A = this chain, B = another copy of it.
Amino acid sequence: METPLVTLYGPVADDLVLVEDLLESTKRVDIPMLKRMLDHALEARGKRLRPALVLLAGTFGDYDLNRLVPLGAAIELLHTASLVHDDVVDGATSRRGRPTANQLFDNALTVLLGDYMFANAAEMVTRTGSLHVTRLFALTLMKMTSGELDQDAAAFDVGKDIQHYLWRIGGKTASLFANATEGGASLAGCRPEWVEALRSYGYNLGMAFQIVDDVLDFVGDEAVLGKPVGSDLREGNLTLPALLLLERYPKNNPIAKFFSARRKREQYLQEAIRMVRESEVIDLSRDMARDYVARACEAIGGLPDTPAKRSLLDIARYVLERNS
């Protein structure tokens, strides 16, 4: 059984309701179609992990909820908007057991929904009153879309290596985690070394988070994930386990066959998924996630021992253990 997140978020768990209220307020719009779409996109309450990171980082300085809460909401909106566009880009029909926006509405309206949410996120971050944090936020979105775009452009290309994979997930996932902790610390007026320590924590946590995500895509429970096992590979997205398999078994590799074959593609795909699951690459991938988590914890080693710090260390462990 997993640790309930409300326990994990410790000292800031109660304040997260303010982020929830602010997110809820963004649904109040006059355009009926936009309202329906926002209701759908914001209905699936996530773990609110990124807003929790903003608030936790903020505890290491002047914990001003008037500034931290808008950043938390902005980051969650940005995250949700990027999922909305990812689902259009991937042609995904369901996410975590619910139909995607592009499935319920259509691609055209869903592109505009995502644009609206990006704009709303940008508006939200200006409410922090900090041009510096607003700028950081825009730079993060540039990194995220660069990472996504690169992933999409590299689909079905076996020429990319692990270094490239790490760069890509650094952009598409870790940059937003880093923005959460760096932004929170910066708004709280923490001293520069602490801001950097918390940024590094967020970045390394995000790297581990994405690697675990990519492992779960191979070994997770389909019912819990809400998508078939091996979805990434099917879309031509070479994640860490697949890259390790290619590296360790360069000859006759079923992934290479799946990518290049014109016939029996489904058979090669299933063979590749089985081989990934049964080989040591899953453990090796988890080891890499563990390394990143260790770096995350190390980064905040110099911060005072507070409930918030213990919460950050617990979250780091949770990221390794989670199964959905």
Query: Which positions in A face B, CB cutoff 8 Å?
Result: 29, 31-34, 82, 85, 88-91, 107-109, 111-116, 118-120, 122-123, 126, 129-131, 134-135, 137-139, 141-142, 144-146, 148-150, 152-153
Contacts and interface: CB of A to CB of B under 8 A. Distances in A.
A148 B85 contact: no
B31 A112 contact: no
A107 B107 contact: yes
Residue of A34, A88, A138 with highest tally of chain B CB at under 10 A: A138
Given A135-B126, A139-B123, A112 B33 contact: no
A12 to B, nearest CB: 26
B112 A152 contact: yes
B149 A109 contact: yes
B33 A150 contact: yes
Nearest to A126: B135
Given A31-B150, A109-B152, A145 B116 contact: yes
B29 A108 contact: no
22 contacts: A34-B150, A82-B115, A85-B115, A88-B108, A89-B108, A89-B112, A109-B149, A109-B153, A111-B114, A112-B145, A112-B152, A119-B144, A122-B138, A122-B141, A123-B135, A123-B142, A126-B131, A126-B134, A129-B131, A130-B131, A131-B131, A131-B134
B126 A142 contact: no
Contacts of A139: 119, 123
